[in-house]
A and B are shown apart, each in its own frame.
Chain A
Amino acid sequence: MSTTSQKHRDFVAEPMGDKPVTALSGIGEVLGKKLEEQGFDKAFAVLGQYLLLRKDGELFTEWLKDTSGANSRNAASCSQCLREWCDSFL
């Protein structure tokens, strides 16, 4: 039952380029601001972190929850979004 949001579909459909971090599925205004404060102002920076964690979904969701205070649902959504993007473009 993977009902992906429009945001998710938009993100995984094309290379992310310079998209802001709020373009990621599961990352809204509040979480986006917190991530920018930590230095992750662009989506590719979060992608970099995902890759550093060896594309491990669990580690990444844990990191995202610790860094931005995301809840499990948003963190999982972001993780899945990045995973699918990597499947297509990495």
Chain B
Amino acid sequence: MATLGNKSDQEIRELLDEYGIKHGPIVNTTRALYEKKLREAMAKNNVTKPSPDKTFYREEQEEVTYVTYRTPVMSAGPSGDGKPYMRSRPEYSERDFVDDKLYSRSRPEYSSRRQYVDEPHVYNTPSSSSYSKPTPVVKSGGGVVEEEKTESSGRLIPLWIQFLVFLIVAGFLYFIFINMESAESSPFNRIQ
């Protein structure tokens, strides 16, 4: 597609309009400039399209870990969905080379499919993990065993600081309690 030198002036003009490049008449002195701009625009289009795919892939990797983690807990549903991800990835990269139209078509299809399937998974896992963690912490007090090291689920104050403050307050109250005078032996003994 890079044989811009062979195209007629009209075709260059059409290509410039397609890429939305503002231009003047195609004359011998202006033609080289417009060819260069077209090449840049083509290269930019080819470069920007894969990078959103890369972010999809990165997100996809994270989601794949969610899915595989949950397969022991839940049976066929998520694991069945994991496979189409793996399959669609090589299929997607093959389509990349074949045709531009196929490319643009498969991308919204891919992203919409991903959105349909992924978002319930993505939303379920962090919310369930964040709700399940605080209740055992509050009940058991200081000695909480961290069974899974999940990422911080968006707390304003880090968890360890909350533990520390709780321990300090509890210790302080205990200290006061110990140093209270017992009510049985009253200080007002009669001197006998």
Contact = CB atoms under 8 A, between A and B. Distances in A.
7 contacts: A49-B29, A52-B30, A53-B30, A54-B23, A54-B24, A59-B33, A63-B30
Contact of B27 (A52, A54, A59, A66): A52
Interface of B: 22-25, 27, 29-30, 32-33, 36-37
Interface string A46-89: 00010011101001001100100000000000000000000000
Given A53-B33, A56-B24, A59-B24, 7 more contacts: A52-B24, A52-B27, A53-B24, A53-B30, A56-B22, A63-B33, A66-B33
Interface of A: 39, 49, 52-54, 56, 59, 62-63, 66
Main secondary structure of the interface of B (DSSP, over half): helix
Grouping DSSP codes into helix (H, G, I), strand (E, B) and loop, the A interface class, with mixed when no group exceeds half, is helix
A66 B29 CA distance: 11
A57 B33 CA distance: 14
Contact of A52 (B22, B25, B32, B37): B25
A41 to B, nearest CB: 13
